[in-house]
Structure 1
Amino acid sequence: MLVNNNHLNERLTRKSQQIYHFIRKHGSVSKQDIVIGLKLSLPTVTQNLQYLTDMELVDTSKKILNTGGRNATAYTYIRSTRMAIGVYLTSNHISVVAVDLSGNVVDMEKVQIKFDLADEDYLKRIGELVELVKVRTDIKDESLLGVGIAVQSLVSSDGETIRYGIALDFAKTTRKEIAKYIPYKNRLFHDPEMACYAEVWIDRSIQNAFYISLSNSVGGAVVVDNNIYRGNSLKGGEIGHMLAVRENGEKCYCGKYGCFDTVCRATKLDEYTNGNLDAFFVKLRSGDKIAQEKWDAYLYELSLAIHNIRMLFDGKVILGGYVGAYIGDYIDQLCELVDARTPFEDDKAKDYLMPCKYKVEATAAGAAMNYIDDFFDEI
């Protein structure tokens, strides 16, 4: 009887993935736990556990204490056996993070530097920072899944080309140009989508949501059935350019007037404290009158956008970005403003409006998490 080894390996890989994710979910399990939990035969579990152990994905060094007999081997997954790196390029900073298989940021480097893709030294600096984090985290070449690069622009679906980069004036730039000094697998990502990706990654219960990135520019991303919805022309979620002020609106960086970006970007707040957002919230907490006036105006505009998003999508609304990291202390006030707008008595903002959970370099982390998910899919 002939055996098709390709089919055998395919079945083995599927079972191994199933077992691996069972171990990830439960933390530390015995072989019998896997047999019962996944309803698999003991030989199948044994064979696939050996495969995972050989791949250095599973650790077998610990024991599960058993008062009634021999201690069973505890199978645990190794978080650091593979890692990914995420990069976020903004107008004044480069942020680089290393992320393990649990989505934890295990190392981070952020430097202040002017964005300038025409400057060879700037491009070299990106590569140097990636290498610094890689070496400091002791990531071997074979263990590095890839480098995700988040940028303030719309990106082609294959991650190769900047489609719309007017915020930093670098449209039509390619991945190869930006990643010239990154000698590892890499691709480009749209920044608010990556911050949203990180939120959904750490909270798998989120099925449908709209993520609002409240940073020095305002962006957004839409999640439908656990997937980022990008739209027919990759502009899905571009809430920053939604018309918010019909008359006498401020000019947006896009050239139009009255965009949502002009009333809810972070600089509307920190312009009062010389660009220091933390200092603004210190003043706000201390009862500073001007800070309070600016904050009240900010929340008013934000509540209008949240209401409109809720009416359109009927899903969760996640507030992220620079302001989103602070807004948790003011969520009740914001919910009251949103509730005052809704026509539905049973639709309370506290049930769907939430501050971001990922507050440290979420955008760079999300870019790295794409490679982690690719790895899980390919195990």
Structure 2
Amino acid sequence: MSISRRKLLASLGAVTATAGISAFWISRMPNYTGPVSDHFDGKVFFDPDGVPPKSLGEVLRWQFGGGRKREVWPDWVENEFADTPPGKVESGVRLTYVGHASWLIQTAGINILFDPVWSDRVSPFSFAGPQRHNAPGIAFDKLPKIDVVLVSHGHYDHLDIPTLSKLQASFAPRVITPLGNDVTMKSGDSAIKAEAYDWIDRVELGNGLAVTLVPTRHWSARGLFDRNRCLWASFVLETPAGKLYIVGDSGYGDGGHFRRVREAHGDIRLAILPIGAYEPRWFMKDQHMNPEDAVKALKDCGAQQALASHHSTFQLTDEAIDGPVKGLTAACDAAELPKDKFVALKPGQVFEI
């Protein structure tokens, strides 16, 4: 590569980084108002068993400090699989990995999307911020009628208003989300049928299905100055085939959050656990699990089966695109887990119970 081309690419990278930081500087989720609780002080939410999000100084240290090693991802990876789901699944559970943290869950005649993102970027802007490196495992026009959407929290890689708006226009689903995120959604599109709930709330979905919002070790924001204005959660989904524990983002901590799910909800048939966006550990360990943490979380929650999530689509952190999947194989080997106990699907692959 010529010196002039390197300079050009460096300049473009600097412009993109500056635009991305500026976007987060001005972005802000609306304030939630509600009664004080053991995890809401009247202004912001907090996890009594967690830690606060990193400071702006620590963010800048990670992004611009010396010694950072950010692995280079390929510009684009063609998918090996593409799912065309059935209109309904009446018995059992059919799960399709869409990519990153997005899943289609079909059971009892109801179609559920979790943290759906079909956008090319997870950012306030279409021209800056983390970009998709592979296509969604289901083309949007191949989706069956969507009845329910679960959104775990307000980060852009989980709460994607353009996708929610498109789902609203096509299917008008119920959108179940933690407190405050409904205001964020409706400020972007007032037609979104968002319903907001607190930790431990149980919501009936019909046909014998129900979902409970459970605490998770994370935080929420849309910008640099609106941290924890809205709540974050994981979900326990009750199905005729057993309970599914669906985690969008979580640090591991001492594992208490996962053990409490087991204590409160009993047998878990399947857990969807995040394994990516974990480097550097000094910055990420309190908010994102690495594969070793995810294997410990599986043991703590006691699920019979786990599927890996939150990896290999958007480069949010510094590890290689295949780092989480390779790390999961090594972590399972080290823990002497059978290879089919904790599976990392590729976008478009299907898992059935």
Same fold by TM-score greater than 0.5: no
TM-score by length of 2: 0.30
TM-score by length of 1: 0.29
> Rg larger in 1 or in 2?
1
For CA contacts below 8 A with separation 6 or more, give which structure has more relative contact order.
2
